[in-house]
Amino acid sequence: MQKKSGQKKAYLIDTNIFLELLLNRAFKNDCARLLKEVEIGNLEVYVSSFSIHSIEVILSNFNKEKELKIFLGSIIDFEGLFVYTTNLEEELEAIEETENGLDFDDALQSFVTKRLKASIISYDKHFDKIKGLKRLTPSDILKTLD
């Protein structure tokens, strides 16, 4: 699933967008619509490999192995999904983002977003205080696709 995106505007999709849907949370409908657009290739987004691993751990901790298999099996075929895999040097660099008051997982997302010169699609308001980072919600993105 390591593809090159041809899209000019880059987005990084945060872990919580998938979890909203997978854990049946409040914004699941917007997330489902957004992910459908990614699935069929109408929208191209990046996801960090760290996010995928985080989802694997979270679903496993909730004893949702069946849902995890479905999740992994489905995103393999998402036409508009590109996985950004960080290397150890990048993860070391990402630690500097914790100086902005972020924990490591958010710091890594912030680092990858900046590396891609992207906007982050997230419900996490911690990203709003990061200089040079633009956070959008699924509904913000969906409005641009209508």
pLDDT tops 90 at residue 8: no
Residue 2 has pLDDT above 80, yes or no: no
Structural domain contains residue 57: yes
Residue 9 predicted with pLDDT over 70: yes
Residue 63 placed within a domain: yes
In which band, very low, low, confident or very high, does the pLDDT at 78 lie, cut at 50, 70 and 90?
A: very high
Range of the domain at 131: 11-145
107-124 residue pLDDT tens: 999 999 999 999 999 999
Give me the residue label for tokens 């004893």: 63
Q: Residue 2, CB half-sphere, CA atoms under 13 Å: how many?
A: 4
With a pLDDT cut of 90, the percent of the chain lying above it is 90
Domain-located, residue 4: no
How many domains are contained in the chain? 1
122 DSSP assignment: -
The answer as to whether 1 is a domain residue is: no
Residue 100 located in a structural domain:
yes
Cα 116 to Cα 56, 88, 96, 134: the distances in Å are 24, 17, 17, 12
pTM of the full structure: 0.91
- Reply yes or no on whether the pLDDT at 52 is more than 70: yes
pLDDT of amino acid 135 = 98
Flag whether 62 is in a domain.
yes
- Is 6's pLDDT higher than 70? no
Average pLDDT over residues 86-91: 97
Band (40; pLDDT cuts 50, 70, 90): very high
Domain presence at residue 2 = no
The per-residue pLDDT for 100 is: 87
CATH number at residue 33: 3.40.50.1010
Segment 121-137, tens digit of pLDDT: 999 999 999 998 999 99
The token duo for 125 is: 């308001």
Grade residue 79 by pLDDT with cuts at 50, 70 and 90. very high
Residues pairing with 121 in the sheet: 13, 136
Dihedral angle, C-alpha 136, 137, 141, 144, nearest 10 °? -80
